[in-house]
Chain A
């Protein structure tokens, strides 16, 4: 947390991220990683100042197993699934609790944007799919994501690499939101290979006459496996 002192009157010097390039000034300039490791772990104060936040939909991907309907009637199936979405950041390390700069980031973002920041989020739920005959039901999950950019301001009580103040500009991180996840149910007709993998005893259901009020889709009713 930020510490204020009326006794602190320093002749400050500043280095921005553009200067903190390890190769060019290896002896006189810390790396970004070195600076962030010092956040609340050797600094008088370490503050993250956000400058922008955007929301976007993460990549849609399948979760849970397929629901294969090898029968001639609609089939309801319950599928339990769990999906963990992690975050990323501009310095390419996995943020854990030991990194205080991650905590400063979370606090600042949550206070500013009234959106909880998490570096990892897990969705666990059970969905029931209704899959038409000779079809495959699938569940797709697209996590809602947020990206925040800003600057770290670090103040050292004693000079660090010759300066009291250091800034890490243009730090950005992407992380999952814990709300508004998009879950999509999708069904498609089985491929020939998939139909061949259906249990024989079930596949003979072409003789079965459905008594459900909802008839199978006409196109699918006609697509009984050839040769049975």
Chain B
């Protein structure tokens, strides 16, 4: 099932505390976006998933999975090779131009784009945990496609 951007309208209850870290002294925050509802919840630690969703990806501010993180959950794992399963516009959640490392979960392959709506420079597919996304997309990702 192809997910469109329209399904990602966020209920921004937890968005306020997911703003980018602005200084090195800022504590890391760990937010989770549930694509089914668009709800973001954040906390000081990586949260456990307690509903029937599947984690499909996790991205990080710093290399080696350091700094703040943003976890995306979906209603099902990715199918691979059958088009786009999910997509995320990062600016909605304060995560544009931040990603330095990522993890591929739920059988998903991640595609990074430097522009919104999967435009601009592209790198991927990232099929496994990647401690550094590389110079092309480091701190430049604005949208992610999950295939």
**Contact of B48 with A113 in the complex, beta carbons under 8 Å:** no
Q: Would you call A151 an interface residue if the criterion is a C-beta within 8 Å of the partner chain's C-beta atoms? A: yes
Closest A residue to B51 by CB, please name it: A14
**Contact of A111 with B48 in the complex, beta carbons under 8 Å:** no
Q: Would you call A13 an interface residue if the criterion is a C-beta within 8 Å of the partner chain's C-beta atoms? A: yes
Q: Would you call A125 an interface residue if the criterion is a C-beta within 8 Å of the partner chain's C-beta atoms? A: no
**Contact of A49 with B77 in the complex, beta carbons under 8 Å:** no
**Contact of B129 with A12 in the complex, beta carbons under 8 Å:** no
Count of residues in A whose CB is under 8 Å from the partner chain? 33
Chain B residues whose C-beta falls within 8 Å of the C-beta of A4 in the assembled complex: 80, 107, 127
Chain A residues whose C-beta falls within 8 Å of the C-beta of B50 in the assembled complex: 14, 16, 18-19
Q: Would you call B79 an interface residue if the criterion is a C-beta within 8 Å of the partner chain's C-beta atoms? A: yes
In the complex, per-residue mask of B18-58: 1 if CB is within 8 Å of any chain A CB, else 0: 00000000000000000000000000001011111111001
**Contact of B128 with A14 in the complex, beta carbons under 8 Å:** no
- Given known contacts A2-B128, A111-B129, A112-B129, A167 and B49 CB-to-CB distance under 8 angstroms: yes
Q: Would you call B103 an interface residue if the criterion is a C-beta within 8 Å of the partner chain's C-beta atoms? A: yes
Q: How far is the CA of A203 from the CA of B49 in the complex (A)?
A: 72
Q: Would you call B65 an interface residue if the criterion is a C-beta within 8 Å of the partner chain's C-beta atoms? A: yes
Q: How far is the CA of A19 from the CA of B53 in the complex (A)?
A: 15
Q: Would you call A17 an interface residue if the criterion is a C-beta within 8 Å of the partner chain's C-beta atoms? A: yes
Q: Would you call A147 an interface residue if the criterion is a C-beta within 8 Å of the partner chain's C-beta atoms? A: no
Chain A CB within 10 Å — which of B48, B66, B79, B82 has the most?
B48
- Given known contacts A6-B82, A8-B77, A14-B54, A167 and B128 CB-to-CB distance under 8 angstroms: no
4 closest A-B pairs (Cβ-Cβ)?
A16-B48, A12-B54, A112-B131, A13-B52
Instruction: Show 11 residue pairs from A and B whose CB-CB distance is below 8 angstroms, ordered by the A residue.
Output: A4-B80, A12-B54, A12-B77, A16-B48, A51-B46, A51-B65, A112-B131, A113-B131, A153-B106, A165-B54, A167-B55
Residues in chain A within 8 A of chain B (CB atoms):
2, 4-6, 8-14, 16-19, 45, 47, 49-53, 108, 111-113, 151, 153, 155, 165, 167, 169-170
> Apart from A49-B129, A51-B46, A52-B65, what 12 extra A-B contacts exist at CB < 8 Å?
A4-B127, A6-B79, A9-B79, A13-B52, A14-B51, A14-B53, A16-B50, A49-B103, A51-B65, A113-B64, A165-B54, A167-B48
